[in-house]
Amino acid sequence: MRAGTRRRLRLIAKVIIFGTLVGAAYGIALHLTVYDAPRWGALIGATHGFLISATIGWLEIFGVRTQPGRTVEQAPFLVTLAVKVTVYGSVMALVNFFEPGTRLVGIPIEPGSPQIVALIFSFVVTAVFIFVFQISQIVGGRTLRDWVLGRYHRPREEERFFLFVDLAGSTALAERIGPVGVHKFLNRIFLLASDPVDDHRGEIYQYVGDEMVITWTERDGRPAARPLGCFFDIERALDSASPEFLRDFGAVPRVRGAMHAGPVIVGEVGGSKRDIVFHGDVLNTTSRLEEMARQHDRRLVASATALERCHDIGAYTLEDLGAHVLRGRASPVLVYAVAPDGR
């Protein structure tokens, strides 16, 4: 089973567990106040919560990967939100209308205000969940979590890996297909890259032109040399999609990468628009390493500092490119070109 499939299955399991628990809690509260039967309320609420969360979870996690799902996801935010609330609301209406949990325990169904209250409750919880989920996709799940928790309200130092991935030959491509075509080309690359980034537990820091910047804390990036695996999985995803790129754009994407690691300062900045940013020499050095990848025509280059912090790099072939004094630095950096073992 692919890492992406395992990750999505774990996510839908969490959604179902959460939905079932919320349904059970609501069922207890409702049946305690209306029917004085909290035990049956827990079973009924858990059943309804399971059915609603399993259906909506599948649509949200797996359904978006279908063609109709991608169309909805790429629509304007309010359109996406309206479509999802309508579809998911229909699911909740059916569950609350047929009351499978009530039928399961053999309690007579009495249409009335409890059903209406349950439907309103389901709509509100789902609308909040979808809104938060959509916002998390815009700003990033970890960034949203860190904002809510105030983790970077005060600047703090962290040891992090950074992986810069950029498109090779973008200037010539822009001249041929124009700026709108380049935007669509890059957007498809970034969409295809999102799964490998998530699979390897990275977080996308930002998109800059034809480049994406991915980061890991040292603890998250160290196992199985995740930044290296992420880059080559992005390559594989793009290779698999090369026939579609060739058909739609007349070109096949080729990416280059650079990896470095070290201390950075992380903190919130801004007023009317706030963001979590990284400051430090690590980012400048990674940018210079990316220039080296271009100059030496290598797919991926990495500093010895970053490679020393990775576990399980035996699956990769390292080519010593020597020590280089990079622009803006006084001390030399030992650099390696990296390729999958056997390639």
DSSP assignment of 91-126: HHHHHHHH-HHHHHHTPPP--SHHHHHHHHHHHHHH
Q: What's the chain's Rg over C-alpha atoms? A: 25
Q: Are 324 and 318 in contact (CB under 8 A)?
A: no
Mean of pLDDT values over 127-145: 71
Q: What is the pLDDT at residue 154?
A: 84
Note the pLDDT tens digit of each residue in 190-231.
989 988 998 898 989 889 888 999 999 999 999 999 999 999
Q: Are 282 and 321 in contact (CB under 8 A)?
A: no
Q: Is the pLDDT of residue 342 over 70?
A: no
pLDDT above 90: percentage of residues in the chain: 30
Q: State CA 160 to chain mean position distance.
A: 18
Least confident of 66-70, 279-283, 306-310, 320-324: 66-70
Domains recognised in the chain with CATH numbers: 3-139 (no CATH), 143-340 (3.30.70.1230)
Question: Hey, which residues does 276 pair with through a beta bridge?
Answer: 268
Q: What is the pLDDT at residue 152?
A: 75
Say what the alpha-carbon torsion angle 199, 200, 201, 204 is, to the nearest 10 degrees. -90
Q: Is the pLDDT of residue 297 over 60?
A: yes
- Decide which of 342 and 5 is more confident: 5
- Report the b/e string of 133-160 with b at 16+ CB within 10 A: eeeeeeebebbbebbeeebbeeeeebbb
Report the distance separating Cα 325 and Cα 5, nearest Å: 43
- Decide which of 160 and 130 is more confident: 160
Q: What is the pLDDT at residue 230?
A: 95
pLDDT above 70: percentage of residues in the chain: 90
Q: What is the pLDDT at residue 113?
A: 60
Average pLDDT, the chain: 84
Note the pLDDT tens digit of each residue in 229-273.
999 999 999 999 999 999 988 889 999 999 999 999 988 887 777
